[in-house]
Amino acid sequence: MTRDALFITPSLSIPRAELVFRASRSGGAGGQHVNTSSTRVEVLWDLSNSAVVTAQERQRLLAKLAARLDSNGFLRVVSSARRSQQQNREDAEERLAQLVRQALVVPKTRKKTKPSRAAKEQRLSEKKRRAERKQHRRQRDFD
């Protein structure tokens, strides 16, 4: 991982200059330490004005991550799981990268397929066998 950019895919890396980091006090366990140190980290990325994504990628990201964007078009990821600000920063960066990576995946288009002739014949012959079996059950006379 380079220091000046956040690796997403081989063709996409977000420059750290485009990321905004904010630290605040974290809640939860930690005793007196949690009340005095700002370990919670918030990472913001201005997706709508980013220079590193193509128009097509931007459109896809905006559509896929619409629920995670704020009114200004910033993608926001928060981490407060760890006790150190540096660990939370790394965690938030990795989660941001994972989010973007998943949103950029283009699902394969489904190709229509037809059952083969042998498969059709097998299905029909099985149907006939089942029907004959049931016919034989009906024809028995139990007197």
Does residue 12 sit within a domain? Answer: yes
CA pair distance 110, 100, nearest whole angstrom: 24
Cα separations in angstroms, 99 against 20, 45, 60, 102, 139: 17, 12, 12, 5, 65
Cα separations in angstroms, 77 against 1, 21, 28, 73: 19, 10, 18, 13
Residues facing residue 24 across a β-bridge: 40
Overall number of domains in the chain: 1
Task: Provide the whole-model pTM.
Answer: 0.68
Does residue 67 sit within a domain? Answer: yes
96-112: pLDDT as tens digits: 999 999 998 888 999 99
Does residue 24 sit within a domain? Answer: yes
Range of the domain at 68: 5-104
Instruction: Report pLDDT for 110.
Output: 93
CA pair distance 33, 54, nearest whole angstrom: 44
Residue 47: CATH number of its domain: 3.30.160.20
Does residue 123 sit within a domain? Answer: no
Does residue 126 sit within a domain? Answer: no
